[in-house]
Amino acid sequence: MPSVSDLKPQLLLQEVGTRPTIDRLAQFVDQTVTLQGWVFNRRDSKHVIFLEVRDGTGLVQAVVARDVVGDAKFEAAQLPQETSLTVTGTVTRHPKKEGVYELQVSDFLVVQTPTEDFPISPKEHGVDFLMGQRHLWLRSRKQWAILRVRSRVIRAIHDFFASLGFVLMDSPILTPAACEGTTTLFETPYFDKGMAYLTQSGQLYGEASAMAFGKVYVCGPTFRAEKSATRRHLTEFWMVEPEVAYMDLEGDMQLAESFICYIVARVLEDCRTELEILERDITKLEKVRAPFPRISYSECVEQLNGPLGEPLEWGTDFGAPHETALTQDQEQPIIVHRFPQVFKAFYMEPDPTDPRLCLSMDVLAPEGYGEIIGGSERIADYDLLRHRILEHGLPEEAFEWYLDLRKFGGVPHAGFGMGIERCVTWLTGTHHIRQTIPFPRTIDRVYP
Ligand code: 4AD
Ligand code: MG
Protein backbone atom coordinates (compact mmCIF):
# COMPACT_ATOMS: atom_id res chain seq x y z
CA MET A 1 0.00 0.00 0.00
CA PRO A 2 1.37 3.46 -0.83
CA SER A 3 2.27 5.54 2.20
CA VAL A 4 1.02 9.08 2.61
CA SER A 5 4.37 10.43 1.44
CA ASP A 6 3.91 8.67 -1.91
CA LEU A 7 1.03 10.95 -2.74
CA LYS A 8 1.80 13.09 -5.75
CA PRO A 9 1.21 16.63 -4.40
CA GLN A 10 3.63 15.96 -1.57
CA LEU A 11 6.33 14.75 -3.98
CA LEU A 12 5.78 17.82 -6.06
CA LEU A 13 6.08 20.02 -3.00
CA GLN A 14 9.39 18.42 -2.07
CA GLU A 15 10.60 19.00 -5.61
CA VAL A 16 9.56 22.68 -5.56
CA GLY A 17 11.18 23.20 -2.19
CA THR A 18 14.56 21.63 -2.93
CA ARG A 19 15.15 22.10 -6.65
CA PRO A 20 18.06 24.48 -7.29
CA THR A 21 16.84 28.01 -7.96
CA ILE A 22 18.80 31.19 -8.51
CA ASP A 23 18.11 32.55 -5.02
CA ARG A 24 19.70 29.41 -3.52
CA LEU A 25 22.79 28.99 -5.70
CA ALA A 26 25.10 29.53 -2.72
CA GLN A 27 24.12 26.02 -1.60
CA PHE A 28 25.24 24.49 -4.90
CA VAL A 29 28.74 25.93 -5.48
CA ASP A 30 30.89 23.54 -7.60
CA GLN A 31 27.85 21.37 -8.28
CA THR A 32 26.03 20.84 -11.54
CA VAL A 33 22.49 22.19 -11.51
CA THR A 34 19.68 22.65 -14.01
CA LEU A 35 17.73 25.90 -13.84
CA GLN A 36 14.32 26.46 -15.38
CA GLY A 37 13.86 29.99 -16.61
CA TRP A 38 13.90 32.66 -19.28
CA VAL A 39 16.55 34.71 -21.12
CA PHE A 40 16.48 38.17 -19.58
CA ASN A 41 19.33 39.70 -21.53
CA ARG A 42 22.33 38.62 -23.61
CA ARG A 43 25.83 39.85 -24.41
CA ASP A 44 27.87 38.19 -27.15
CA SER A 45 31.56 38.07 -27.86
CA LYS A 46 33.37 35.85 -30.31
CA HIS A 47 33.89 32.88 -28.06
CA VAL A 48 31.69 33.56 -25.05
CA ILE A 49 27.98 34.38 -24.76
CA PHE A 50 26.69 35.77 -21.48
CA LEU A 51 23.07 34.88 -20.98
CA GLU A 52 21.38 36.69 -18.15
CA VAL A 53 18.86 34.12 -17.02
CA ARG A 54 15.96 34.75 -14.66
CA ASP A 55 13.86 32.05 -13.02
CA GLY A 56 11.49 34.17 -10.93
CA THR A 57 13.68 33.95 -7.83
CA GLY A 58 16.50 36.07 -9.23
CA LEU A 59 18.98 36.63 -12.02
CA VAL A 60 22.17 34.75 -12.84
CA GLN A 61 24.83 35.18 -15.47
CA ALA A 62 25.11 31.94 -17.47
CA VAL A 63 28.42 31.74 -19.29
CA VAL A 64 28.30 29.84 -22.58
CA ALA A 65 31.84 29.18 -23.85
CA ARG A 66 32.40 27.99 -27.41
CA ASP A 67 35.16 25.59 -26.40
CA VAL A 68 32.90 23.95 -23.79
CA VAL A 69 29.62 23.53 -25.66
CA GLY A 70 30.94 23.23 -29.24
CA ASP A 71 30.26 25.40 -32.29
CA ALA A 72 26.68 24.31 -33.03
CA LYS A 73 25.41 24.80 -29.48
CA PHE A 74 27.31 28.05 -29.23
CA GLU A 75 25.56 29.46 -32.32
CA ALA A 76 22.23 28.23 -30.94
CA ALA A 77 22.85 30.17 -27.73
CA GLN A 78 22.17 33.48 -29.47
CA LEU A 79 18.72 33.41 -27.97
CA PRO A 80 16.25 36.29 -28.05
CA GLN A 81 14.98 37.99 -24.88
CA GLU A 82 12.32 35.96 -23.03
CA THR A 83 13.16 32.63 -24.65
CA SER A 84 12.14 30.01 -22.10
CA LEU A 85 14.81 27.40 -21.46
CA THR A 86 16.35 24.96 -19.06
CA VAL A 87 20.05 25.49 -18.60
CA THR A 88 22.54 23.11 -17.02
CA GLY A 89 25.96 24.03 -15.69
CA THR A 90 28.35 24.27 -12.78
CA VAL A 91 27.79 26.92 -10.14
CA THR A 92 30.85 29.12 -9.51
CA ARG A 93 31.54 32.15 -7.38
CA HIS A 94 31.74 35.45 -9.23
CA PRO A 95 35.47 36.29 -9.51
CA LYS A 96 35.00 39.79 -8.07
CA LYS A 97 31.60 40.16 -6.43
CA GLU A 98 31.06 38.66 -3.00
CA GLY A 99 27.82 36.68 -2.69
CA VAL A 100 27.25 36.58 -6.48
CA TYR A 101 27.28 33.31 -8.42
CA GLU A 102 27.56 32.33 -12.06
CA LEU A 103 26.67 29.31 -14.09
CA GLN A 104 29.30 27.75 -16.38
CA VAL A 105 26.98 26.27 -18.94
CA SER A 106 27.44 22.72 -20.19
CA ASP A 107 24.08 22.43 -21.96
CA PHE A 108 20.73 24.11 -22.45
CA LEU A 109 17.37 23.23 -23.91
CA VAL A 110 15.01 25.77 -25.44
CA VAL A 111 11.41 25.34 -24.29
CA GLN A 112 9.88 28.08 -26.43
CA THR A 113 11.35 30.70 -28.75
CA PRO A 114 9.36 33.96 -28.74
CA THR A 115 7.32 34.36 -31.91
CA GLU A 116 7.83 38.15 -31.89
CA ASP A 117 10.32 40.60 -30.41
CA PHE A 118 9.60 41.12 -26.72
CA PRO A 119 7.92 44.54 -26.55
CA ILE A 120 9.81 45.66 -23.44
CA SER A 121 13.51 46.09 -24.07
CA PRO A 122 16.01 47.32 -21.52
CA LYS A 123 15.69 50.85 -23.01
CA GLU A 124 13.34 53.41 -21.41
CA HIS A 125 9.62 53.17 -22.16
CA GLY A 126 6.81 55.51 -21.13
CA VAL A 127 4.78 54.35 -18.12
CA ASP A 128 1.53 54.39 -20.11
CA PHE A 129 2.99 51.98 -22.63
CA LEU A 130 4.35 49.78 -19.85
CA MET A 131 1.01 49.75 -18.03
CA GLY A 132 -0.63 48.48 -21.22
CA GLN A 133 1.98 45.69 -21.16
CA ARG A 134 1.59 45.05 -17.44
CA HIS A 135 1.29 41.27 -17.97
CA LEU A 136 4.83 41.32 -19.42
CA TRP A 137 6.21 44.28 -17.45
CA LEU A 138 5.95 42.16 -14.29
CA ARG A 139 9.09 40.35 -15.51
CA SER A 140 11.21 43.51 -15.19
CA ARG A 141 13.61 43.95 -12.29
CA LYS A 142 11.97 46.87 -10.50
CA GLN A 143 8.45 45.52 -10.82
CA TRP A 144 9.69 42.19 -9.55
CA ALA A 145 11.30 43.90 -6.56
CA ILE A 146 8.26 46.05 -5.69
CA LEU A 147 5.83 43.15 -5.82
CA ARG A 148 8.07 40.93 -3.73
CA VAL A 149 8.11 43.64 -1.06
CA ARG A 150 4.31 43.75 -1.32
CA SER A 151 4.15 40.01 -0.72
CA ARG A 152 6.43 40.36 2.32
CA VAL A 153 4.30 43.20 3.70
CA ILE A 154 1.17 41.07 3.43
CA ARG A 155 2.86 38.19 5.21
CA ALA A 156 4.00 40.57 7.95
CA ILE A 157 0.42 41.84 8.34
CA HIS A 158 -0.90 38.34 9.02
CA ASP A 159 2.02 37.45 11.30
CA PHE A 160 1.60 40.62 13.33
CA PHE A 161 -2.09 40.15 14.01
CA ALA A 162 -1.79 36.41 14.58
CA SER A 163 0.94 37.03 17.17
CA LEU A 164 -1.44 39.30 19.08
CA GLY A 165 -4.31 36.83 18.99
CA PHE A 166 -6.43 38.64 16.40
CA VAL A 167 -8.89 36.57 14.36
CA LEU A 168 -9.07 37.06 10.59
CA MET A 169 -12.59 37.90 9.39
CA ASP A 170 -13.48 38.09 5.72
CA SER A 171 -15.98 40.81 4.93
CA PRO A 172 -18.28 40.79 1.90
CA ILE A 173 -17.36 42.54 -1.33
CA LEU A 174 -20.98 43.09 -2.39
CA THR A 175 -22.68 45.32 0.17
CA PRO A 176 -26.05 47.03 0.60
CA ALA A 177 -24.74 50.55 1.37
CA ALA A 178 -21.84 53.01 1.59
CA CYS A 179 -19.26 53.00 4.37
CA GLU A 180 -17.02 55.87 3.29
CA GLY A 181 -19.32 58.41 1.62
CA THR A 182 -21.67 58.00 -1.31
CA THR A 183 -19.61 59.78 -3.97
CA THR A 184 -17.18 56.94 -4.66
CA LEU A 185 -19.55 53.96 -4.84
CA PHE A 186 -19.36 51.39 -7.60
CA GLU A 187 -22.81 49.93 -8.09
CA THR A 188 -24.12 46.83 -9.74
CA PRO A 189 -27.68 45.59 -10.27
CA TYR A 190 -28.44 42.79 -7.83
CA PHE A 191 -31.28 40.52 -9.01
CA ASP A 192 -34.60 41.79 -7.60
CA LYS A 193 -32.92 43.61 -4.68
CA GLY A 194 -32.11 46.80 -6.52
CA MET A 195 -28.50 47.98 -6.37
CA ALA A 196 -25.57 46.39 -4.58
CA TYR A 197 -22.29 48.24 -4.06
CA LEU A 198 -18.67 47.12 -4.14
CA THR A 199 -17.31 47.54 -0.64
CA GLN A 200 -15.32 50.69 0.18
CA SER A 201 -14.14 49.23 3.48
CA GLY A 202 -14.78 46.09 5.51
CA GLN A 203 -14.94 48.08 8.72
CA LEU A 204 -18.64 47.81 9.51
CA TYR A 205 -18.41 44.02 9.28
CA GLY A 206 -15.19 44.20 11.27
CA GLU A 207 -17.17 45.92 14.03
CA ALA A 208 -19.82 43.17 14.08
CA SER A 209 -17.01 40.60 14.21
CA ALA A 210 -15.20 42.43 17.02
CA MET A 211 -18.34 42.09 19.16
CA ALA A 212 -18.18 38.34 18.56
CA PHE A 213 -14.41 37.70 18.66
CA GLY A 214 -12.93 40.69 20.55
CA LYS A 215 -9.91 41.40 18.37
CA VAL A 216 -10.34 40.92 14.64
CA TYR A 217 -8.92 42.11 11.36
CA VAL A 218 -10.35 42.24 7.88
CA CYS A 219 -8.04 42.10 4.87
CA GLY A 220 -9.15 42.25 1.28
CA PRO A 221 -9.86 44.27 -1.83
CA THR A 222 -11.84 47.49 -1.51
CA PHE A 223 -13.23 49.74 -4.21
CA ARG A 224 -13.65 53.44 -4.69
CA ALA A 225 -14.83 55.17 -7.81
CA GLU A 226 -12.22 57.90 -7.31
CA LYS A 227 -12.79 60.46 -10.03
CA SER A 228 -9.36 62.02 -9.65
CA ALA A 229 -6.26 60.61 -11.30
CA THR A 230 -3.58 61.12 -8.65
CA ARG A 231 -0.50 59.13 -7.86
CA ARG A 232 -2.08 58.06 -4.56
CA HIS A 233 -5.40 56.69 -5.76
CA LEU A 234 -6.49 53.38 -7.16
CA THR A 235 -10.10 52.42 -7.80
CA GLU A 236 -9.38 48.91 -6.48
CA PHE A 237 -6.95 48.61 -3.58
CA TRP A 238 -6.28 46.24 -0.70
CA MET A 239 -6.95 47.28 2.83
CA VAL A 240 -6.19 45.68 6.18
CA GLU A 241 -8.49 46.76 8.98
CA PRO A 242 -8.12 45.74 12.63
CA GLU A 243 -11.08 46.35 14.93
CA VAL A 244 -10.96 45.89 18.70
CA ALA A 245 -13.74 45.88 21.29
CA TYR A 246 -13.10 48.10 24.33
CA MET A 247 -10.19 49.89 22.60
CA ASP A 248 -10.02 53.70 22.62
CA LEU A 249 -8.28 56.21 20.36
CA GLU A 250 -5.04 56.05 22.35
CA GLY A 251 -4.97 52.25 21.99
CA ASP A 252 -5.75 52.60 18.31
CA MET A 253 -2.76 54.91 17.79
CA GLN A 254 -0.46 52.56 19.70
CA LEU A 255 -1.64 49.59 17.67
CA ALA A 256 -1.06 51.45 14.39
CA GLU A 257 2.40 52.50 15.51
CA SER A 258 3.61 49.05 16.49
CA PHE A 259 2.00 47.58 13.38
CA ILE A 260 3.97 49.92 11.10
CA CYS A 261 7.21 49.32 13.02
CA TYR A 262 6.73 45.56 12.69
CA ILE A 263 6.16 45.74 8.93
CA VAL A 264 9.15 48.01 8.36
CA ALA A 265 11.40 45.70 10.39
CA ARG A 266 10.34 42.58 8.44
CA VAL A 267 10.90 44.31 5.10
CA LEU A 268 14.33 45.53 6.21
CA GLU A 269 15.21 42.03 7.37
CA ASP A 270 14.05 40.11 4.32
CA CYS A 271 13.98 42.46 1.33
CA ARG A 272 17.55 43.81 1.12
CA THR A 273 18.00 42.68 -2.48
CA GLU A 274 14.69 44.17 -3.53
CA LEU A 275 15.35 47.52 -1.81
CA GLU A 276 18.80 47.63 -3.44
CA ILE A 277 17.31 47.06 -6.91
CA LEU A 278 14.89 49.89 -6.17
CA GLU A 279 17.74 52.11 -4.94
CA ARG A 280 15.70 52.79 -1.81
CA ASP A 281 17.57 54.78 0.82
CA ILE A 282 17.17 52.29 3.65
CA THR A 283 18.76 54.56 6.25
CA LYS A 284 15.40 56.39 6.12
CA LEU A 285 13.48 53.21 6.91
CA GLU A 286 15.94 52.20 9.62
CA LYS A 287 15.02 55.35 11.54
CA VAL A 288 11.35 54.35 11.83
CA ARG A 289 10.75 53.80 15.52
CA ALA A 290 7.86 54.18 17.97
CA PRO A 291 6.61 56.47 19.38
CA PHE A 292 5.61 58.44 16.29
CA PRO A 293 5.06 62.18 16.77
CA ARG A 294 1.39 62.98 17.47
CA ILE A 295 -0.08 66.22 16.34
CA SER A 296 -3.68 67.36 16.40
CA TYR A 297 -5.47 68.47 13.23
CA SER A 298 -5.75 71.99 14.64
CA GLU A 299 -2.00 72.17 15.28
CA CYS A 300 -1.42 70.96 11.72
CA VAL A 301 -3.58 73.77 10.35
CA GLU A 302 -1.54 76.29 12.37
CA GLN A 303 1.70 74.88 10.97
CA LEU A 304 0.35 74.78 7.43
CA ASN A 305 -0.76 78.41 7.66
CA GLY A 306 2.52 79.33 9.32
CA PRO A 307 5.98 77.84 8.75
CA LEU A 308 4.93 75.13 6.27
CA GLY A 309 3.44 77.70 3.88
CA GLU A 310 0.64 75.51 2.50
CA PRO A 311 -2.44 77.41 3.71
CA LEU A 312 -5.57 75.50 4.80
CA GLU A 313 -8.81 76.77 6.24
CA TRP A 314 -9.74 75.11 9.54
CA GLY A 315 -12.52 72.59 8.85
CA THR A 316 -11.33 71.44 5.43
CA ASP A 317 -9.59 68.16 4.69
CA PHE A 318 -5.94 67.92 3.74
CA GLY A 319 -5.18 67.70 0.07
CA ALA A 320 -2.08 66.00 -1.31
CA PRO A 321 0.00 69.24 -1.07
CA HIS A 322 -0.84 69.57 2.64
CA GLU A 323 0.11 65.97 3.39
CA THR A 324 3.33 66.45 1.46
CA ALA A 325 4.14 69.66 3.35
CA LEU A 326 3.44 67.97 6.70
CA THR A 327 5.62 64.94 6.01
CA GLN A 328 8.39 65.82 3.59
CA ASP A 329 10.90 66.74 6.27
CA GLN A 330 9.81 64.09 8.77
CA GLU A 331 11.91 61.05 9.61
CA GLN A 332 9.09 59.24 11.38
CA PRO A 333 5.54 58.65 10.31
CA ILE A 334 3.33 61.20 12.10
CA ILE A 335 -0.06 60.59 13.66
CA VAL A 336 -2.57 63.36 13.10
CA HIS A 337 -5.50 63.07 15.49
CA ARG A 338 -8.86 64.70 16.25
CA PHE A 339 -10.07 65.86 12.86
CA PRO A 340 -13.22 67.98 12.49
CA GLN A 341 -16.40 65.90 12.19
CA VAL A 342 -17.55 67.75 9.07
CA PHE A 343 -15.42 65.94 6.53
CA LYS A 344 -15.08 62.61 8.31
CA ALA A 345 -17.20 59.46 8.10
CA PHE A 346 -20.56 59.16 9.87
CA TYR A 347 -19.44 56.51 12.39
CA MET A 348 -16.71 58.46 14.22
CA GLU A 349 -17.11 59.09 17.96
CA PRO A 350 -17.26 62.81 18.86
CA ASP A 351 -14.49 64.25 21.02
CA PRO A 352 -16.06 64.79 24.48
CA THR A 353 -13.89 67.88 25.01
CA ASP A 354 -14.87 69.57 21.72
CA PRO A 355 -17.95 68.42 19.82
CA ARG A 356 -16.66 69.91 16.56
CA LEU A 357 -13.98 67.20 16.56
CA CYS A 358 -14.04 63.41 16.40
CA LEU A 359 -11.78 60.79 17.96
CA SER A 360 -10.05 60.02 14.69
CA MET A 361 -6.49 59.63 13.54
CA ASP A 362 -4.50 59.30 10.33
CA VAL A 363 -0.95 58.01 10.05
CA LEU A 364 1.04 59.95 7.47
CA ALA A 365 4.18 58.35 6.07
CA PRO A 366 7.35 60.46 6.05
CA GLU A 367 9.31 61.81 3.07
CA GLY A 368 6.16 63.34 1.61
CA TYR A 369 4.27 60.08 1.08
CA GLY A 370 1.26 61.10 3.17
CA GLU A 371 -1.72 59.15 4.49
CA ILE A 372 -1.33 55.40 4.77
CA ILE A 373 -3.72 54.76 7.68
CA GLY A 374 -7.09 56.18 8.67
CA GLY A 375 -8.92 55.15 11.83
CA SER A 376 -11.07 56.18 14.76
CA GLU A 377 -13.11 55.30 17.79
CA ARG A 378 -16.61 54.35 16.63
CA ILE A 379 -19.84 55.82 17.91
CA ALA A 380 -21.08 53.51 20.67
CA ASP A 381 -24.45 55.21 21.32
CA TYR A 382 -27.51 53.98 19.41
CA ASP A 383 -29.36 57.30 19.15
CA LEU A 384 -26.34 59.32 18.08
CA LEU A 385 -25.36 56.75 15.46
CA ARG A 386 -28.88 56.63 14.03
CA HIS A 387 -28.95 60.41 13.94
CA ARG A 388 -25.66 60.47 12.04
CA ILE A 389 -26.82 57.90 9.50
CA LEU A 390 -29.87 60.05 8.71
CA GLU A 391 -27.83 63.25 8.72
CA HIS A 392 -25.51 61.76 6.10
CA GLY A 393 -28.52 60.84 3.94
CA LEU A 394 -27.78 57.12 4.25
CA PRO A 395 -30.61 54.57 3.91
CA GLU A 396 -31.54 53.53 7.46
CA GLU A 397 -32.87 50.12 6.43
CA ALA A 398 -29.46 49.13 5.04
CA PHE A 399 -27.88 49.94 8.42
CA GLU A 400 -30.34 48.20 10.72
CA TRP A 401 -27.93 45.37 11.40
CA TYR A 402 -25.15 47.88 12.13
CA LEU A 403 -27.39 49.74 14.58
CA ASP A 404 -28.19 46.41 16.25
CA LEU A 405 -24.57 46.28 17.43
CA ARG A 406 -25.43 49.28 19.65
CA LYS A 407 -28.62 47.64 20.91
CA PHE A 408 -27.06 44.43 22.15
CA GLY A 409 -24.07 44.99 24.39
CA GLY A 410 -22.65 48.03 22.66
CA VAL A 411 -19.14 48.97 23.88
CA PRO A 412 -16.54 51.58 23.00
CA HIS A 413 -14.39 50.20 20.20
CA ALA A 414 -11.89 51.40 17.65
CA GLY A 415 -9.93 50.35 14.62
CA PHE A 416 -8.16 51.57 11.54
CA GLY A 417 -7.55 50.74 7.92
CA MET A 418 -4.20 50.68 6.16
CA GLY A 419 -4.04 50.83 2.38
CA ILE A 420 -1.54 48.11 1.48
CA GLU A 421 -0.46 49.80 -1.75
CA ARG A 422 0.05 53.15 0.02
CA CYS A 423 2.31 51.40 2.50
CA VAL A 424 4.27 49.59 -0.23
CA THR A 425 4.61 52.84 -2.21
CA TRP A 426 6.32 54.42 0.77
CA LEU A 427 8.51 51.43 1.72
CA THR A 428 9.74 50.90 -1.84
CA GLY A 429 10.13 54.62 -2.57
CA THR A 430 7.86 54.31 -5.60
CA HIS A 431 6.56 57.48 -7.23
CA HIS A 432 3.15 56.23 -8.31
CA ILE A 433 0.90 53.81 -6.42
CA ARG A 434 -0.07 51.91 -9.60
CA GLN A 435 3.24 50.03 -9.62
CA THR A 436 2.59 48.50 -6.20
CA ILE A 437 -0.26 46.18 -7.21
CA PRO A 438 0.11 43.48 -9.86
CA PHE A 439 -2.74 44.67 -12.09
CA PRO A 440 -3.76 48.22 -11.17
CA ARG A 441 -7.23 49.63 -11.66
CA THR A 442 -7.43 53.39 -12.01
CA ILE A 443 -9.94 55.83 -13.46
CA ASP A 444 -8.41 55.34 -16.93
CA ARG A 445 -7.37 51.70 -16.80
CA VAL A 446 -9.07 48.27 -16.49
CA TYR A 447 -6.72 46.51 -18.95
CA PRO A 448 -4.91 44.10 -18.84
O1 4AD B 1 -9.15 56.66 5.44
P2 4AD B 1 -10.01 55.61 4.83
O3 4AD B 1 -11.05 56.05 3.86
O4 4AD B 1 -10.65 54.82 6.04
C5 4AD B 1 -11.52 53.78 5.97
O6 4AD B 1 -11.89 53.27 4.95
C7 4AD B 1 -11.91 53.24 7.30
N8 4AD B 1 -13.18 52.54 7.15
C9 4AD B 1 -10.82 52.33 7.80
C10 4AD B 1 -11.10 51.78 9.16
O11 4AD B 1 -11.10 52.54 10.11
N12 4AD B 1 -11.31 50.49 9.28
O13 4AD B 1 -9.10 54.53 4.10
C14 4AD B 1 -8.12 53.83 4.84
C15 4AD B 1 -6.84 53.77 4.05
C16 4AD B 1 -6.23 55.12 3.71
O17 4AD B 1 -5.47 55.62 4.78
C18 4AD B 1 -5.36 54.77 2.52
O19 4AD B 1 -4.16 54.16 2.95
C20 4AD B 1 -6.19 53.72 1.82
O21 4AD B 1 -7.08 53.18 2.77
N22 4AD B 1 -6.94 54.28 0.70
C23 4AD B 1 -6.59 54.15 -0.59
N24 4AD B 1 -5.54 53.54 -1.17
C25 4AD B 1 -5.46 53.56 -2.53
N26 4AD B 1 -6.38 54.15 -3.33
C27 4AD B 1 -7.46 54.77 -2.77
N28 4AD B 1 -8.37 55.32 -3.57
C29 4AD B 1 -7.59 54.79 -1.36
N30 4AD B 1 -8.51 55.29 -0.50
C31 4AD B 1 -8.09 54.96 0.74
MG1 MG C 1 -8.66 58.65 5.13
202 within ligand 1 shell (Cβ under 6 A):
no
Residue among 166, 169, 201, 253 whose CB has most ligand 1 atoms within 8 A, to mutate: 201
SS (H, E, C) 377-441: EECCCHHHHHHHHHHCCCCHHHHHHHHHHHHCCCCCEEEEEEEHHHHHHHHHCCCCHHHHCCCCC
User: What is residue 18's predicted lDDT score, i.e. its pLDDT?
Assistant: 79
Share of the chain above pLDDT 90, in %: 92
What three-state secondary structure class fits 195?
strand
Q: Is 135 helix (H, G, I), strand (E, B) or coil?
A: helix
Query: For residues 105 and 110, what is the distance between their CA atoms, to the nearest angstrom?
Result: 14
HSE on the CB side for 52, CA within 13 Å?
Answer: 10
Q: How many whole angstroms from 203 Cα to the centroid of ligand 2?
A: 13
- Strands annotated E in 66-130: 84-93, 101-112
Instruction: Supply the pLDDT for residue 8.
Output: 60
Residue whose C-alpha is closest to residue 144's, from 366, 418, 438, 399: 438
Q: Is the pLDDT of residue 12 over 60?
A: no
Ligand nearest to the CA of 203: 1
Query: 350, 331 in Cβ contact below 8 A?
Result: no
Instruction: Examine the pLDDT at 11 and tell me if it is beyond 80.
Output: no
Distance CA 85, CA 256 (A): 46
Distance CA 262, CA 420 (A): 14
- In three-state secondary structure terms, 58 is coil
Q: Is 373 in the pocket of ligand 1 (CB under 6 A)?
A: yes
Q: Is the pLDDT of residue 157 over 90?
A: yes
Average pLDDT over residues 27-41: 97
Please give the pLDDT value at position 76.
98
Q: Whose CA is nearest to atom 22 of ligand 1?
A: 419
Alpha-carbon gap, residue 369 to 93, rounded angstroms: 40
Q: 15: pLDDT confidence band, cut at 50, 70 and 90? A: low
Residue 344 Cα to ligand 2 middle (Å): 8
Q: Evaluate if residue 103 carries a pLDDT over 60.
A: yes
Q: How many degrees, rounded to 5, is the angle at CA 365 between CA 359 and CA 368?
A: 120
Q: Predicted confidence band at 9 (pLDDT cuts at 50, 70, 90)?
A: low
Q: What is the average pLDDT across 433-447?
A: 96
The predicted pLDDT at position 31 comes to 97
Answer whether residue 122 shows pLDDT above 80: no
How many CA atoms lie less than 13 Å away from 259 in the CB half-sphere?
Answer: 28
Give the model's pLDDT for residue 4. 58
45 confidence band (pLDDT: 50, 70, 90) = very high
- 237 touches ligand 1 (CB under 6 Å): yes
Q: What is the DSSP letter of 56?
A: S
Supply the pLDDT for residue 2: 54
pLDDT of residue 121: 86
The span from the first CA to the last CA of the chain, in angstroms, equals: 48
Cα separation, 417 vs 365, whole angstroms: 14
pLDDT over 60 at 10, yes or no: no
Instruction: Give the tens place of pLDDT for each residue, 354-381.
Output: 999 999 999 999 999 999 999 999 999 9
CA 422 – ligand 2 centroid, Å: 11
What number is the average pLDDT over the span 60-72?
Answer: 98
H helix intervals, 62-177: 66-69, 71-76, 127-132, 134-137, 141-163
How remote is the CA of residue 398 from the centroid of ligand 1, in Å?
Answer: 22
Measured in angstroms, how far is the CA atom of residue 169 from the centroid of ligand 2? 22
Residue 273 near residue 320, CB atoms below 8 Å = no
CA of 77 to the centre of ligand 2 (A): 54
Q: What is the pTM of this model?
A: 0.96
- State the DSSP string of 269-337: HH-HHHHHHTT--HHHHHT--SSPPEEEHHHHHHHHHTTT-----TTS---HHHHHHHHTT-SS-EEEE
Sign of CA dihedral 339, 341, 345, 346: positive
Classify 28 as helix, strand or coil: helix
Given ligand 1 and candidates 239, 255, 413, which is best to mutate, with the most ligand atoms within 8 Å of its CB?
239
How far is it, in rounded angstroms, from Cα 225 to Cα 8?
45
Going by alpha carbons, the residue nearest to atom 1 of ligand 1 is 374
Ligand positioned closest to the Cα atom of 347: 1
